[in-house]
Amino acid sequence: MIRTRRAAAAGPVRTRKRGRRSPLASVALVAVGLLLTGGAYTLFTASSGASAAIDLNSAQAISQGKKLFQANCATCHGLALQGTVAGPSLIGVGAAAVDFQVGTGRMPLAQDAPQAQDKPPVFDDTQTKELAAYVASVAPGPGLPSSKYLQLSGNATRGAELFRINCAMCHNVAGAGGALTEGKYAPNLNGVTPAHIYEAMLTGPQNMPVFNDANISPQDKADIITALKATQQNANVGGFDLGSLGPVAEGLFLWIFGLGAIVAFTVWLTAKAN
């Protein structure tokens, strides 16, 4: 009875209506929905763009590539790919050379230098393939590598041997790159896609020699790519790799820190004795 009177004195009890939610909850739901939709769209477009196969022989790809070439490349390479004083002829270089040079960002050239440097590409993959289609349509040349040689399923042991014989003198045995003469250099191969490694061997960009299929077979190229990627993916069991630059860097490290530690210990020992 007392409890009932207290409740009556306190006034009517407010009950929460079911089914109502805070306005902030509605805003949060809308935001989550937009994020999920945008993320799904981004993943879809990225995956579709990466897996889209372009027929380099199609008239549409060649036509689009011609438009891109005339707008972005003809100033240096000429309207008919004949070359000018500012750029070499592209007649006969093939689709592989275009895909490598444009796909790695080396072309269009950013600045006059001893060699073109890789940078974020100006054109996306579809535009790059269209440019390759147009250049390949003018004159035959090395084509794009078959996907079966880019699956990292080759013989890594044999590939490492082939790399040491043919490539390590410039690129370093670990593919870390190295300096050449007159300000030129062999680039670091870490992070380079299998397709671009294959195309570089096939076309010989910059100061690199050409390793056509008569010199190094497609399967040998696949073995080399497999070995490079296996080396890059495996952890260094020797500790700090010092950039994988070889015995010079390791000797310099020992000379500075090892010999420095011995000298410091000798000075400390002498001072303590005195």
Query: Tell me: the pLDDT tens digits for 43-66?
Result: 544 433 333 578 999 999 999 999
Q: Does domain 56-144 have CATH number 1.10.760.10?
A: yes
For residue 201, the model assigns a pLDDT of: 97
pLDDT digits (tens, 9 = 90+) for 212-263: 999 999 999 999 999 999 988 876 656 666 665 666 666 777 778 888 888 8
Residues 54/126, Cβ–Cβ less than 8 Å: yes
* Tokens read off for 197: 């490694």
The rounded distance, in Å, linking the Cα atoms of 64 and 127 is 8
| Percent over 70 (pLDDT), the chain | 76
Write the burial class of residue 108 (CB in 10 Å: 0-12 exposed, 13-18 middle, 19+ buried): middle
**Residue 52: exposure state from Cβ atoms within 10 A (0-12, 13-18, ≥19):** exposed
Would you state the pLDDT for residue 38? 61
Whether the CB-CB separation of 226 and 153 falls below 8 Å is answered with yes
Q: How far is CA 267 from CA 92, 196, 253, 254, in A?
A: 68, 54, 21, 19
- Residue with more model confidence, 241 or 200: 200
SS3 state of residue 245: coil
Distance of CA 133 to the CA centre of its chain: 22
Question: Quick check: 91 and 81 in contact, CB under 8 A?
Answer: yes
Q: Which of 43, 71, 68 is nearest to 128 (CA)?
A: 68
Q: How would CATH label the architecture of 145-235+243-259? A: Orthogonal Bundle (1.10)
Looking up tokens 């299929």 gives: 213
